[in-house]
């Protein structure tokens, strides 16, 4: 059911629960079965349930749109291919050798498809960079 259909149905239920014919916009005749307390309560319950369902649907749509936006942002962020992956011993050794050959961590990061901060952290972990030098490589 579309949102316009639900809106129309909610409007009609609102009129019915107030004792008004939604088609003619006139009040129901006294003694009409449409005015029994049980039926009015039932109509109010249905109207409220439908209204809550509409709000939930709108909320789900907003969440879907937000999630879609986040996915686009992640794609646009373009993190390096190996970002977040575990370091192999061989890769660590290659990064150390490159650093010892005076290759800057930014270049090493490009080679290993990692963030510069990850390269610097590995080099610091291996004792090649002091913690106070860290910022100078970023």
Task: Return the pLDDT at 10.
Answer: 85
Both tokens of residue 71?
Answer: 């996915």
3-state secondary structure of 131: coil
**How far is CA 46 from its chain centroid?**
31
Task: Return the pLDDT at 83.
Answer: 83
3-state secondary structure of 25: coil
3-state secondary structure of 44: helix
C-alpha distances in angstroms, 110 versus 27, 48, 105, 119, 134?
76, 58, 9, 10, 18
Residues of the chain where predicted confidence (pLDDT) is lower than 50: none
Residue 102 is classified by DSSP as T
Q: Quote the Cα angle for 138-104-94, to 5°.
A: 115
Task: Return the pLDDT at 70.
Answer: 64
Both tokens of residue 38?
Answer: 């049980």
C-alpha distances in angstroms, 25 versus 6, 10, 11, 40, 51?
19, 15, 12, 17, 22
Task: Return the pLDDT at 91.
Answer: 94
């Amino acid at each position: 059911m579309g949102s316009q259909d639900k809106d129309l149905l909610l409007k009609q239920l609102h009129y019915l629960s107030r004792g008004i014919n939604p088609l003619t916009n006139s009040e129901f005749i006294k003694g009409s079965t449409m005015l029994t307390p049980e039926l009015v309560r039932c109509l109010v319950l249905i109207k409220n349930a439908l209204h809550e369902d509409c709000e939930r649907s709108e909320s789900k749509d907003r969440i879907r749109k937000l999630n879609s936006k986040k996915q686009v942002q992640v794609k646009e962020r373009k993190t390096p291919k190996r970002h977040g992956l575990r370091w192999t011993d061989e890769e660590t050794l290659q990064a150390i050798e490159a650093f010892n050959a005076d290759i800057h961590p930014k270049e090493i990061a490009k080679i290993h498809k990692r963030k510069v901060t990850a390269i610097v952290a590995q080099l610091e972990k291996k004792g090649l960079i002091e913690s106070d030098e860290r910022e100078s490589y970023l």
